[in-house]
Every structure is written in structure tokens, then in C-alpha cells.
Structure 1
Amino acid sequence: MLIRRVARPLLASVFVADGWRALRHPAQEIEHLPGARKQLTVLAERAPVPLSADVVVRAAGATKIVAGVLLGLGVAPRAAATVLTVLHVPTLAAAHPFWETKGETRREHVAGLVRDGAVLGGLLLAAADTAGKPSLGWRLDAARTTTAKKATTHARHARRTAKVAKVAAKQAAARVPDKAKLALHEVTDRV
């Protein structure tokens, strides 16, 4: 649909630009997020390999660029939107600490939170958008129902075939003694 072809790149452009900025200037990105350095340092210390806050920000930036490009191109858009959602939620809270400020600064943080919340809403819609195709849950349920119907049909057919075979076996068994008698008579007549 045309709307998807326009909306996805528009939504993705925010994250590609944000990721590019984080990749090139991680220190500025950390300063842009009040209180983020402490959280990023804790995250970097918990990593199994030695990291710094700058490396974590650069990795998140590179991930945003890749996921943004994929979303914009429509390649695995649901997965890309989900990755961007996961990356956007912590940024949303860290970038707009309105509870710590007063006056005009607080209003700016609230407005920024509302804007970023709207972007989050767009990501959630993109993550849930099946592009007119049924969801994975619906497909699984339909496959389960179809398989159950086929199994029932095959079982019914097998029961009918078994009944027909049983009747044919009874008829064949009933004929065997007669044929055996005839064969015995033929043998005795020849002798």
C-alpha cells in the first residue's frame, strides 16, 4: 500500500539520523540524555567483555541505523520496528526527566516526552502491521484447524475402508470352503 511506502521511511528517518549522531558523537549523545552516563557505565561494567559507555552508545546507534534502514526499505519491517521500540523506550525516559525540573524546562521535557511518545506509537503500529496478511497467531490457528479437519476426514475414510475390507474378508472367507470342496472333488475325480 502506498501509505506504508511513505510512512515507513518517514518513521525510519528519525532513527537513522539519531543512530548516525550517536555513532559519530557518542559523548554528545550521552550528555543529551541526563543521567544516562551512570546507567550506561553500569551496563558496560556488567557486560562480559570490557566496554565503555561510548561503545554502548555507538553500538545502539549502529543498531538504530540498521533497523531504521530495514524499516525504511520494508525489509522485515515488523522485526525492525520491534528492535527500534526496544531501543527507544529507555531513551524516552532518559531524555525527558520532567520530574526533576520546574517551569519552562519542565514544559519542554513534557512536550519532548509527548513527541517521543508519538514516535513510540508509530513504532508500535509498524511492529503490529501485517501489511494485509494475517498475523502469525492467526496463521498458526488456521493451520491447526485445517490439520484437525484433515485428520478427522482421513480417520473417517480409514474407518470406511476398514469396514469395506472387513466385509470383503468375510465374503472371501465364506467362498473359501466352497472353492476348497470343488478343488477336492476335481482332484478326486481325476484320480
Structure 2
Amino acid sequence: MMLRRVARPLLASVFVADGWRAVRHPAAEVEHLPQARPALTQLADKAPVQLSPDLIVRAAGAAKIVAGGLLGLGIAPRAAATVLTVLHLPTVVAANPFWDATGEKRREHLLGLLRDSAVLGGLLLAAADTAGKPSIAWRLDTARSTSAKHVATSAKHAKRTAKVARIAAKQTIARVPDKAKLALHEVTDHS
């Protein structure tokens, strides 16, 4: 559908640009989100390898670039949108700390929260969009019910075949004595 071909790249462009900025200037990203520094430092300290907050921001930025590119190109768009949703959630909260602000600053943060939430809604729609194809759950359910119908039909046919085989066996057994008599007469007639 044409709408998807336009909407996905538009939605993805925000994340590609944001990811590019994070990869090139991770310190500026951390400064932009001052509430994120303690969380990033704590995450870096708990990691099994030596990490810095800047490296974590760069890695998240690279993930945004890749996922945004995939979403924009329509390659695995549901998975890409899901990854972007997970990466965007912490940003929504960290970038808009309205609970700490008052007056005009609080209004700005609330407006930012609404904007970021709208983008999050777009990502959720993209993650759920099956592009007109049935979902995996629907396909599995349909396959399960179809195979159950096939098993039931096969069982009916097997039952009918067994019944016909029993009848044929009985008829064959009933004719055996007559055939044996004929064979006996043939043998005795030739001797």
C-alpha cells in the first residue's frame, strides 16, 4: 500500500537522525538528557565488560540507525518498529521530566511528552501492522484447525476402508469352501 511506503520512512527518519547524532556526539546526548547519566553510569558499572555511558549511547544510536533504516526501507518493519519502541521508551521519560518542573518549563515538558508519546504510538502501530497479511497467531490457529479437520476426515475414510475390507474378507472367506470344492473336483477329474 502506498501509505506504508510514505509513512514508514517518515517515521524512521526521526530515529535515523537521532541515532546519527548519538553516534557522532554521545556526550551531547547525555547532556541533553541529564536524568539519564546516573542510569547510564549504573548500567555501565553492572556490565560484565568495561563500558562507558558514551559507548552505551553510541550503541543505542547505532541500533536506532539500523532499525530506522530497516523500517524506512520496509525490511522486517514490525521487528524494526519493535526495537525502536524499546529504544524510544526510556527517552520519552528521560527527555520530559515534567514532574520536576513548574510553570512554562512544565508546560514544555508536557508538550514534549505528548509529542514523544505520539511517535511512540506510531511505532506501536508500525509494530502491529501486518501489511494486510494475516498475523502469525491467525496462521497458526488456521493451520491447527485445518489439520484437525484433515485428521477427522482421514479417520472417517480409514474407518470406511476398514469396514469395506472386513466385508470383502468375509465374502472371500465364504467363497473359499466353494473354490476348494471346485479345485478338488478338478484334481480328482484329472486323476
1:13-92 matches, within 5 Å, as: 13-92=13-92
1:173 and 1:53 map into 2 onto residues whose CA distance is 88
Deviation, structure 1 residue 134: 1.0
Q: SS of the counterpart of 1:160?
A: helix
Q: 1:141 aligns to what?
A: 141
Query: Residue 166 of structure 1 aligns with which residue?
Result: 166
Between the two proteins, the alignment pairs up a number of residues equal to 191
Map of 1:108 onto structure 2: 108
- Are 2:14 and 1:4 equivalent residues in the alignment? no
Tell me the distance in 2 between the aligned counterparts of 1:54 and 1:109: 24
Which residue number in structure 1 is paired with residue 126 of structure 2? 126
Distance 1:180 1:49 in 2: 89
For residues 108-165 of structure 1, give each alpha carbon's deviation from its aligned partner in whole angstroms, at most 9, with x where no partner exists: 1111000000000000000001111111111111111111111111111111111111
Give the Å deviation of 1:186. Answer: 1.8
Matched residue type, 2:28: Q
In structure 2, C-alpha distance between the alignment counterparts of 1:49 and 1:158, rounded to whole Å: 62
Could you state the TM-score of these two structures normalised by the residue count of structure 1? 0.97
Deviation above 3 Å: which 4+ runs of structure 1?
A: none
Distance 2:35 2:98 in 1: 13
Gaps of 5+ in 2: none
Structure-1 separation of matches of 2:158 and 2:35: 69
Please give the alpha-carbon distance, in whole angstroms, between the structure 2 residues aligned to 1:168 and 1:42. 80
Once the two structures are TM-superposed, the CA of residue 190 in structure 1 deviates from its matched residue by 2.3
In structure 1, distance between residues paired with 2:122 and 2:73: 16
Residue identity in the other structure for 2:56: V
Deviation at 1:41, TM superposition (A): 1.1
| C-alpha contact 1:9 1:73 (8 A) present in aligned 2 | yes
- CA RMSD between the two structures: 0.9
Which amino acid in structure 1 is aligned with residue 153 of structure 2? T
Q: How far apart are the structure 2 equivalents of 1:164 and 1:44?
A: 74
Please tell me whether the aligned partners of residues 34 and 97 of structure 1 are also in contact (alpha carbons under 8 angstroms): no
**Do the aligned partners of 1:71 and 1:77 also contact (CA within 8 Å) in 2?**
yes
**Is 38-47 or 70-79 further displaced after alignment?**
38-47
TM-score (norm: length of structure 2)? 0.97
Identity %, equivalent residues? 75
The reply on whether 1:153 has 2:157 as its aligned counterpart is no
